[in-house]
Chain A
Amino acid sequence: GAVVSQHPSRVICKSGTSVKIECRSLDFQATTMFWYRQFPKQSLMLMATSNEGSKATYEQGVEKDKFLINHASLTLSTLTVTSAHPEDSSFYICSASAGQGYNEQFFGPGTRLTVL
């Protein structure tokens, strides 16, 4: 089956620093990658959708200058949380799909971000 990896799995940082999270599709080319955030006991919240080689589409309420997304290749997307604050502490999950239409989203294992 399709495998998506995320790195790091867990990160603790100080307030005001920036954190980069990588999402890789290991055995398929991901035309589209999705970034989600999930707070404790809540459902997934889509932050943005990114297509390889183009700018990400952000959901309403998500600051694109704070959450920088780069999808430079068909196997790699990165999310950078700039000037992180404690309220940004959350579980960040990426998923990848091979195309439009019905294409199952394959989820990465998630990154637990804690901002002190």
Chain B
Amino acid sequence: GQNIDQPTEMTATEGAIVQINCTYQTSGFNGLFWYQQHAGEAPTFLSYNVLDGLEEKGRFSSFLSRSKGYSYLLLKELQMKDSASYLCAVLDSNYQLIWGAGTKLIIKP
């Protein structure tokens, strides 16, 4: 079956750096997405990786290793507004998005 694993919850301190990991086992691979979702709101797009390596976008970076079925989202200079759930999703061979359960990130002052 298809499976995406990410930690349920993480806690970090304002101003620090946090890395949220995601491992996947899917039928085919056409890219991996990270979305941010604040409580009670719909997800918003953060990043898309289809090739191995690191994609940097401001305070957020996303890394992919296809051979390891592994990705991480790196958040730098954490701000209180970064408190949210972070969803990892993989586009499989049928171009269907397979969603992880999300990682709830709690930022403490």
Contacts and interface: CB of A to CB of B under 8 A. Distances in A.
Interface residues of A, number: 21
A43 B50 contact: no
B41 to A, nearest CB: 7
Interface in B17-41: 30-31, 33, 40-41
Contacts of B78: none
Contacts of A108: 42
Contacts, number: 44
- Give the secondary structure class of B's interface: loop
Contacts of A44: 43, 87, 99
B48 interface: yes
Contact of A100 (B45, B48, B95, B102): B95
Interface string A89-116: 0010101000011101111111010000
Interface of A: 34, 42-46, 49, 91, 93, 95, 100-102, 104-110, 112
